[in-house]
Structure 1
Amino acid sequence: MANNEKFEEVIIIDSDDDDLEVTHYATPTASNRFSGVKHGANTPIKSEQSRTLLSGSSSAVKIQPVDSDEEDANDGELAYKKFKERKSLKRKQTAAATRKAKIPRGDPIVGRIKKEKPTARPKRPLKQWGELSSEDELMENTLPGYLKTRRSQFDRRYEHLKDHGLKLPPTYENVDFSDDERLEELQERPVFPVNTRKQEYKDIELPYSMGIIPAPVAQWLRQYQVEGVAFLHELFVYQKGGVLGDDMGLGKTIQVIAFLTAVYGKTGDERDAKRMRKMRRSDDSTWYPRTLIVCPGTLISNWRAEFARWGWWHVESYHGENKDLALDAAKSGRVEILITTYTTYMNNKDAVNMIEWDCVIADECHKIKERKSGTTQSMNEINALCRIGLTGTAIQNKYEELWTLLNWTNPGVLGPVSTWRAQISEPLKIGQSHDATLSELSRARRTAKKLVENLLPQFFIRRMKSLIADQLPKKIDRVVFCPLTETQAEAYENFLDSDIVDYIKTSTEPCECGSNRKSGWCCRRLIPGRDPPTWQSYVFPAINVLQKLSNHLAILIPQGIDPKEKQEKDRDYLELALPEQWEDLYRSRDSIVNYANPEFCGKWKVLRKLLKWWHANGDKVLIFSHSVRLLKMLQMLFHHTSYNVSYLDGSMSLDDRTKAVDEFNADSRQFVFLISTKAGGVGLNITSANKVVVVDPNWNPSYDLQAQDRAYRIGQLRDVEVFRLISAGTIEEIVYARQIYKQQQANIGYNASSERRYFKGVQEKSDQKGEIFGLKNFFGYQNTNIVFRDIVNRTNVAESRAGVHVVDIDLKADEEGYDYDRPMKFEDEAMSQLAAMICGEDEKKDKPSANLPTPHKHDPVQAILASAGVEYTHLNNEVIGSSRVEEDLSRRAELAPNDTTGDRQVFMSSQPFSQPVGEPVRFKYHPPEGVIRRQFCSMARRFGYTDATEFALVVEGMTQAQRRACLDKWYRERREILLSADQNTPGEEWSKDETDPKEEMDVKDEWIKDEKGPESQDL
């Protein structure tokens, strides 16, 4: 076959629903070892198995020849200059075409007055031939010419030279090192304390990429890190891209340095300091790698420190005043590693891309998750074929973000984003709805498995913190739903009753004029007396106001240092929220009295009590907030206490941030560290703290998770407690629920896990807003009700009533394996634990189980929270994840035949007004309050309690798993009673219920007398 002929590879994903077509050129790549595909020296790189993405069938691959008359590429620098001049050339062509345009003729009649034509909407210009649509963005045909040239050169070289055309480590056979005569005396790196765990001292060969991790480095790597190094090095030698998506704290930086050690052919001793200089002097044509690292500015010093610890490297920073000198050194081959920031690269990309980088490392690469952002567009032009991304949060908000990251590493390989959206994003989102049908759930679970098992392993590798569980203490992630104060609640409701919010909430309702248009685009398009008048102008400001009111009322009070225009806007919002108090508050707007007012912040009542307890116990606390103003308010308050306080936000220089962290870690007297969530969520090691408080939830769950990992990481010696403070009934509950939704979507994308389906809403579906999407949900207030508790309870009941014979006992479903042959074993064990806890059996008193919940009255933290008015808390890890019931439902959905039953909702029995065909019993989720009380009293009696209040306290101390187990057993027994009702007399039916009517009335009377009765809703 001719050398100038190339292939186009068409990969068709075998799916029962639709075909997913992915096209890219059939260039050589490594067969991913993690998918079980190997290749030897003489084996074609692209095997049938590796070409199939989501399909396990090799028959899905079609290879078609495409003619090409491409000549040998010019020099890379000339190609780059041609790319730079493309816009100038296009402007010249447009100007020439305009000059040739025909000049319109004037009106031949003098004095005629032209009639004014009504202004028409300007026509959208027709797309010219060759112009890119939005779906073509970031595809391989949009790459700069210098990248296309480099790719074609590498492909031709590999085609002619096979393995010798790969990017193999430099050879030093002809290089003389004077140190070779004293190898035993050479110093090696890294050096760690003697008692540090290490592996056998020996080189580790990477057989699929012909690299070596030298013994001085290899001895300190764990097995999963060796696998990560092998994955990265294989990508490098074939000049492909990929993402190392390990969870935070697993040593992604160390894996990259070990990988680069293999790339440069280093040995981990003093000779490595001389390799670059000797190779440069040996021959001008000798290839020696050049690597660019792009990262957030806070991580530059961390990278430099790690390179110094793990070897001898020539590292420079392209950032700050002397950045041009560093770039000149890189151009002349006097730098091995050049480190820069995303902003610096974007502002100087033309200069940086003059160098042909052999590898680019994008640390925290979720910075380029947005397809249309300037950072992403600039990074797409980076002059490197091997692009490696590092992130622990590849999916933060939606599945399209994962496409953007993977497409950056291998442009065009996954096809356009529209294909990804139709074949992956949409099925996964729809199938995760609480109201999903059997067919939708089936398609979602099958799509997730194909994505995780067939597609991702070629470009993406991710491991979890469970791999280093033996090195980490425990972490408790507690979500605390704090009640608003009376003043806060009044201000919140007043603002919701304002004309601004009313216009926003009713904007999507049909207009009352009968025009069949939505009111927000008809008669209620403009808000009278407002400037600007359109309701759309107030959506985000109104959401911001609600978040401020949920957090601390004083944040809404204008500051004297703010610009006049901002003060006027804030004053208007303050007047809407507190029409009777706003004038007094505005006059004293900079007074510390407003900050310390306990009626302005329900969270402060909780936080103040917790801080007092922690200070007495010698703990150290990190307090995170995305509101810098709130942090400054807290800083001012703490200055009037005995607490020693540190502070960090985005306005501080990198050196000042590092200094603040070092001082807090070194000084045991420092008690509280106030940190901006965005500025301090990445790159900080603050293991001296063991308590973390997230004052306000962020729309992006990764910010809150990264904040926790500042303390919970390798090096932490104490158990870590995290407290997320959520204002109950407010918009913060919606924000937190959206976090749960996004975390679940990410887990599905990473692991194909069968996440519990809490929410009816589907992201970006206008007809499926559910409980957490849409403006009406944002602008509602539940007063004393806790929205998320109701959502969790509804799901518990729905799962218990689904008719599944597998009971969810342990949320960590896969830790000890699931024995499908003995599904009742888990139920028996859980119910025996529950019975022992409730009934207080004598033989169990001397052998307390570690799995039993701590009673509420014996937990000091729970006592503190209760004294502050907190009615509901839960552990985040109990909400995230799968359940036995959901796993069984998902498994059955995958195996279900494609018939008419596929249109039936999986949780049909939890829908209040539906009666499935063939279902003899219809359950109702919202029974009358009297029925709830009677059934709860029956449950108390069933589990051996005559006092419903005592049983309510026990229920409050249960975990989510134990509550679901209790509910499942109860509803199974009740179901048997109801189903047998047609065959038994009323007297016989009552005989099956262990609660005697008279005894039940006694229990009920006791229940009514007690004020803690409503806590049964937590069940």
Structure 2
Amino acid sequence: MEENGRHPNTLNNSDEDTESPLDSQSGYEKYLLGFVLCQIVGIKHYNGKISGREMVALVREPLNAFDPNAIKVLNTRIIQVGYIEKIIASVLAPLIDQNLITVEGIVPNFAKGGVAKFKLPVQVHIFTRREEFNTVRSELSRCGLQLISQNDAGFGLSEAVVVMERSKGKILQQVDEIFKLVNEEIRKRALEKLEPPHDIIKSELLPHQKEGLGWLVYKETSNELPPFWEEKDGLYVNVLTNYQTSTRPHPLRGGILADDMGLGKTLTLLSLIAFDKQPTKNSRKRQKVEKKSLKTTLVVCPPSVISTWVTQLGDHTKPGSMKMYMYYGERTDDPKELQKYDIVLTTYATLVSEETWEESPIKKIEWWRLVLDEAHVIRNYKTQQSRVVANLNAKMRWAVTGTPIQNGFFDLFAFMTFLRFEPFSIRCYWRRLISRPLAQEFQLGLTRLQTLVATLSLRRTKEGSLDGLLPEKSIETCFVELSSAERTLYDQLEAEARVVVSSYISPSRVTNNYMNVLSVILRLRQICIDVAMCPADLKLLLPSEIEDVKNKPELLKKMVAFLQEGEDFDCPICMCPTTNMIITCCAHLFCKACILKTLKDTRRACPMCRHPLSESDLFSAPQDVSDNNGPIKVPNSKLSSKVSQLLKLLIESRNENPSRKSVIFSQFRKMLIMLEEPLREAGFKFLRLDGSMNAKKRGEIIKEFSMVGGATVLLASLKASGVGINLTVASRVYFLEPWWNPAVEEQAMDRVHRIGQTEKVKVVRLIAKNTIEERMVKLQEVKKDGAREAFQDGGGRIKNDHIRLLFSLK
């Protein structure tokens, strides 16, 4: 029953990517067509063992030197068992490569019947989109495979519908009963308050922070079996997959600290780290060893959060009690030097830059603890930064974020991968146990997901934890009437846009025209804020049908510059702001690293439209030539309706309290610069914080804004300033325009409304009346109010029903 080898430290799901980069989140859900019976061969050559009635992972291996159709079989511990027999693989592999099907395997119970010495039976369950049922069925039949579907008598032998385990004699349990029992166990546990080591932590923790500290310490020190494991007759069994081993599984040391933003998670974590410096009960010899090599915690965060950790360390710990090293910019290459510190602070970008550097000191250390701050950064498991942090070695692993789900339920899979929580860290098991039930039987899937999250995470809200301790926060929507000139222009463009976009709303065309839809929406949003943000030639506002721009460099340059004007464009592969932007000959934009990795795929096609693609069809984006310092000259001196309203609100606030500080958020850096001159003329002292600034510059601006008597207005880029920084010196927040994801806005306003705030906080959202902005707000409410919509949202992509809502289409 045992593998003759260790479970690998490196968990990389890249070889499971039998779907296109977007399919797992695209909303085109695959349904069970049926199953075929076949054999797992070559088992004598591999260490992976199967104990009967067990889920197995089927992983396409297109680069196999002996068989280009190879499909390897892995057990729950990601150890290879063998391969699907060649004759079956030769039929399934092409269908997998064309993304027509996905496959899952279950080894039936063979304990009584026995099996061949070097073969194992397996049921290969085939999933495809409903519209492809006939195509796939015909292809399987043509190739001589016998598909057992729901209309066949043998379908009752399928073990895909439920996964069962034997317990208490002949009682059979379904998967959902297992989840229910685990959920009941979780509910029995109560949070216990724990005081931090006061010889290191000088600040008094709030009650919820003491409870959080108690939970963190419990998760790191408990010797309980991981969730969904039981001990039976001297063996350890995973009750979900039926995998059995005589070796006790390691406890799951770590989890997700998902407390609401502004609840003081950093102080709680510093208190946890402080426990590492407490004297142990071991011998003096052991203590001497620990002095030479401290229990070092590696903290990974965005650049904007670095200053927060430095400040919090100074504010909450006694001088000299904890040592911190900044592994950022100029840094040591000696791992022994890093292990002299209690905390090593670095950024996701720094780790990505060292991914191919084998001598990186970060890789050579098994860290005592690994903390990902603002961990939603890794929400797409396919991104480089997600892969890099998942591959780091550490005894304890923590993902820390106030918004664990930003775009949809699939965000959580990246956390499973990082935490190495088997079997959910394996994509086929995640899809089988969580994502497919969510898509097809939502309530069932949601219950499973909630149980799974409860086993790993702790989340408290401000309302429940800081009741009476934090000043209230009010959110107002200020509807702005466009001027007659703005209204005429807006209505003209929206009418034309509606005609164009309505032609895109069909399953066959939406992905091909996805970039055009984004372009139209971008222009409509810009008119709502200020007409001066749009080009003088209104013909450029509406994109034409996508065409090959390979031989039209000027058109190529215009399109890229056009899309770069907003900070809200994310790479469709990694769902993060683009880095080293690339435009393809079929007019789609990606991060350079993302598209190059995709082109290593044997299909070599655009992930958006399936247009054949090679590296010669990729073009680098032109550099941003906008002025970083001076204000942009506005062709029309008259203020826009929205800017006029904003100035009116700021002046009213200043008249009430001249020292009151305000933060103005916008996604558009160009708009922030355009606001400088009107603010200057109105007598406001202001500062600007945006994505063009490095971490040091951002820290200096935040510090300057905190000074009494200085600037009273901070112009802040939503993406650059929405996470990790403390702006409690302000008590007014203005959103110049709505954002797709309500979680991003909540992150931004909670830079102001958090522990340390002493005044009532007022948030004002400026929304252009009777425009696409109003409909964006409705879309936000759909995401907030409906758990189904929130969990099924396609990873940041705009779905057809969303487009209809935005353009008032039936």
1:939-988 Cα offsets, whole Å, 9 max, x none, are: xxxxxxxxxxxxxxxxxxxxxxxxxxxxxxxxxxxxxxxxxxxxxxxxxx
- Tell me what 2:271 maps to: 258
Report matched runs for 1:997-1008 at 5 Å.
none
Structure 1 residue 661 and structure 2 residue 702: aligned?
yes
- Tell me what 1:320 maps to: 329
Report matched runs for 1:724-763 at 5 Å.
724-744=765-785, 763=793
Structure 1 residue 549 and structure 2 residue 523: aligned?
no
Q: Distance in 2 between matches of 1:346 and 1:207?
A: 39
Structure 1 residue 214 and structure 2 residue 214: aligned?
no
1:457 aligned to 450, 454, 469, which one?
454
- Tell me what 1:487 maps to: 485
- Tell me what 2:654 maps to: 615
Report matched runs for 1:681-760 at 5 Å.
681-744=722-785
Greater RCO (Cα-Cα under 8 Å, separation 6 or more): 2
| CA 1:472–1:596: 2 relative to 1, 3 Å | farther
Structure with greater strand percent: 2
1:639 aligned to 643, 661, 680, which one?
680
- Give the counterpart letter for 1:244 in structure 2: L
Aligned residues with identical type, % of pairs: 26
Report matched runs for 1:382-781 at 5 Å.
382-414=392-424, 416-417=426-427, 444=443, 448=446, 451-452=449-450, 454-466=451-463, 467-498=465-496, 502-508=499-505, 520=509, 535=513, 537-557=515-535, 592=633, 594=635, 596-598=637-639, 601-618=640-657, 619-744=660-785, 763=793, 773-780=801-808
1:349-405 Cα offsets, whole Å, 9 max, x none, are: 442222112211000000011122222122221122421010000011111112322
SS in 2 for 1:302: helix
1:901-936 Cα offsets, whole Å, 9 max, x none, are: xxxxxxxxxxxxxxxxxxxxxxxxxxxxxxxxxxxx
1:406-430 Cα offsets, whole Å, 9 max, x none, are: 3421343336556656765677688
- Tell me what 1:246 maps to: 259
SS in 1 for 2:393: coil
Q: Distance in 2 between matches of 1:556 and 1:6?
A: 59
Q: State the Cα distance separating 1:572 from its structure 2 match.
A: 10
- Give the counterpart letter for 1:642 in structure 2: G
- Give the counterpart letter for 1:368 in structure 2: I
- Give the counterpart letter for 2:803 in structure 1: L
| CA 1:596–1:623: 2 relative to 1, 3 Å | farther
Contact 1:245–1:393 at 8 Å: present in 2 too? Answer: yes
Q: Distance in 2 between matches of 1:661 and 1:306?
A: 14
Contact 1:135–1:416 at 8 Å: present in 2 too? Answer: no
Contact 1:558–1:571 at 8 Å: present in 2 too? Answer: no
- Give the counterpart letter for 2:197 in structure 1: P
Contact 1:397–1:742 at 8 Å: present in 2 too? Answer: no
Q: Distance in 2 between matches of 1:724 and 1:360?
A: 37
SS in 2 for 1:394: coil
Give the TM-score taking structure 1 as reference length.
Answer: 0.46
Aligned residues: 531
Q: Distance in 2 between matches of 1:366 and 1:475?
A: 24
5+ long unaligned stretches in structure 1: 8-65, 72-88, 99-122, 137-205, 268-274, 431-439, 510-516, 526-533, 574-589, 751-761, 783-1019
- Give the counterpart letter for 2:217 in structure 1: H
Structure 1 residue 303 and structure 2 residue 331: aligned?
no
Q: Distance in 2 between matches of 1:572 and 1:388?
A: 40
| CA 1:655–1:283: 2 relative to 1, 3 Å | closer
- Tell me what 1:235 maps to: 219
Contact 2:423–2:429 at 8 Å: present in 1 too? Answer: no
Q: Distance in 2 between matches of 1:665 and 1:506?
A: 51
1:344 aligned to 327, 336, 350, which one?
350
1:226-252 Cα offsets, whole Å, 9 max, x none, are: 222222223333452300000111111
**Structure with greater Cα Rg:** 1
- Tell me what 1:30 maps to: none
Contact 1:556–1:570 at 8 Å: present in 2 too? Answer: no
Q: State the Cα distance separating 1:725 from its structure 2 match.
A: 1.2
Contact 1:279–1:288 at 8 Å: present in 2 too? Answer: no
Q: Distance in 1 between matches of 2:299 and 2:305?
A: 11
- Give the counterpart letter for 1:608 in structure 2: L
- Give the counterpart letter for 1:735 in structure 2: M
| CA 1:90–1:546: 2 relative to 1, 3 Å | closer
Contact 2:407–2:741 at 8 Å: present in 1 too? Answer: yes
Q: Distance in 1 between matches of 2:672 and 2:191?
A: 52
Contact 2:783–2:790 at 8 Å: present in 1 too? Answer: no
- Give the counterpart letter for 2:212 in structure 1: G
| CA 1:239–1:292: 2 relative to 1, 3 Å | farther
| CA 1:482–1:125: 2 relative to 1, 3 Å | same
| CA 1:541–1:124: 2 relative to 1, 3 Å | farther
Q: State the Cα distance separating 1:448 from its structure 2 match.
A: 4.6
Contact 2:196–2:271 at 8 Å: present in 1 too? Answer: yes
Q: State the Cα distance separating 1:592 from its structure 2 match.
A: 4.2
Report matched runs for 1:932-947 at 5 Å.
none
Contact 1:245–1:390 at 8 Å: present in 2 too? Answer: yes
Q: State the Cα distance separating 1:310 from its structure 2 match.
A: 1.7
Q: State the Cα distance separating 1:692 from its structure 2 match.
A: 0.6
- Tell me what 1:329 maps to: 337
Contact 2:292–2:340 at 8 Å: present in 1 too? Answer: no
Q: State the Cα distance separating 1:568 from its structure 2 match.
A: 5.2
Structure 1 residue 282 and structure 2 residue 260: aligned?
no
Contact 1:360–1:386 at 8 Å: present in 2 too? Answer: yes
Q: Distance in 2 between matches of 1:485 and 1:234?
A: 60
SS in 2 for 1:667: coil
Q: Distance in 2 between matches of 1:250 and 1:224?
A: 8
Contact 1:407–1:413 at 8 Å: present in 2 too? Answer: no
SS in 1 for 2:468: helix
Q: Distance in 1 between matches of 2:216 and 2:504?
A: 51
Report matched runs for 1:147-226 at 5 Å.
213-216=196-199, 217=201, 220-226=204-210
1:824-879 Cα offsets, whole Å, 9 max, x none, are: xxxxxxxxxxxxxxxxxxxxxxxxxxxxxxxxxxxxxxxxxxxxxxxxxxxxxxxx
Report matched runs for 1:851-862 at 5 Å.
none
SS in 2 for 1:260: helix
| CA 1:411–1:501: 2 relative to 1, 3 Å | same
